[in-house]
Amino acid sequence: MSSVRAVTVRDCAIGGAEVVVMAGPCAIESREQIFEAAEVVAASGARFLRGGAFKVRTSPTAFQGLGWDGWKLLREAADAHGMLTVSEILHEEQIDEARRFVDFAQIGSRNMQNIPLLKALGRSRMPVMLKRGFGCTIDEWVHAAEYILTEGNPDVVLCERGIRTFESATRFTLDVAAVPIAKKRLGLPVLVDPSHAAGNREWVECLALTGVACGGDGLLVETHPEPSKALSDGPQAVPLGDFPALMEKTRRVCHAVGRSMAGSRVAAAA
């Protein structure tokens, strides 16, 4: 497997021996929800708390997120559990202020070719996670990353989140081969998002384990205290109660492929 240059977000290296897990709800919905999620995912070994505050939804009538209030809650919940934050940034104008709340800037699938946003993040020097556009080739994805790199920001991590194919049994099709190919093309870390690829929680575990086995440097997983009440992406949310078991299995696959994963604080304390 090709070696990559690790990208460091605060004190966390992505692309080294450790597989880095980022987990939390699709959208931040309330203080209770994000704090509950943070407690469980941190205890299971996740290093980043994820959660969208500005949601890019297919329909304009769907929940659009809590905005800045959501980011404040994300920061508080992450800080309370010694975690880093990852969240989607939509506009160039959000970048400066976002740095107070967001450690790792996510560019969503629908914005992968938003060139002004890519260039602005390239100038910002904020670590960036570039999701693959679901209708884009690996080549287009690599060129999108180059827009950020050539503006002077070396801290770019890619994220394979599934592409649109003729298959409709899953929401998208996880392009497993894209992980080693993109790593080789850019020499940068690649994460895997099993949640948006699956679209159904039943297949998330299988795709998460596959994501580590094919060389993914980390995972981005959606989990929710009560998926049936989730305001966004409920069907693919792993119930928080099932998250520790998913992490245990993932840890075993990490070891099988010569990687490690942050320890479960619950197991360590027992």
| Site residues, Mn ion (CB under 5 A) | 26, 233
What is the three-class DSSP state of 243?
A: helix
In DSSP notation, 62-90 reads: S----THHHHHHHHHHHHHTT-EEEEE--
Q: How many helices (H) and strands (E) does the chain have?
A: 10, 12
Q: 233: how many CB neighbours lie within 10 A of its CB?
A: 21
- Residue 109 binding result from ligand PEP, Mn ion, none, given CB thresholds of 5 to 8 Å by partner type: ligand PEP
> Looking at beta carbons only, is 156 or 264 nearer to ligand PEP?
156
Per-residue x/- mask for ligand PEP, residues 18 to 47, rule CB under 6 A? --------x---------------------
What is the three-class DSSP state of 9?
A: strand
- With a CB cutoff of 8 Å and minimum separation 6, the contacts of 269 are none
> Looking at beta carbons only, is 161 or 183 nearer to ligand PEP?
161
Per-residue x/- mask for ligand PEP, residues 119 to 138, rule CB under 6 A? ------------x-------
Q: Which stretch binds ligand PEP (CB under 6 A): 107-115, 142-150, 178-186, 199-207?
A: 107-115
For ligand PEP, the binding residue among 161, 171, 183, 251 (CB under 6 A) is 161
- Residue 161 binding result from ligand PEP, Mn ion, none, given CB thresholds of 5 to 8 Å by partner type: ligand PEP
Contact 113, 140 (CB under 8 A): yes
- How far does Cα 219 stand from its chain's mean position? 6
Q: Is 224 in the site for ligand PEP (CB under 6 A)?
A: no
> Looking at beta carbons only, is 239 or 263 nearer to ligand PEP?
239
Shortest Å, Cβ 51 to ligand PEP: 9
Residue 39 in tokens: 């407690």
Q: Is 171 in the site for ligand PEP (CB under 6 A)?
A: no
Distance set, CA 169 to CA 139, 166, 172, 210, 231 (Å)? 26, 9, 9, 18, 22
Q: Which residues contact ligand PEP by CB under 6 A?
A: 26, 52, 56, 108-110, 131, 161, 196
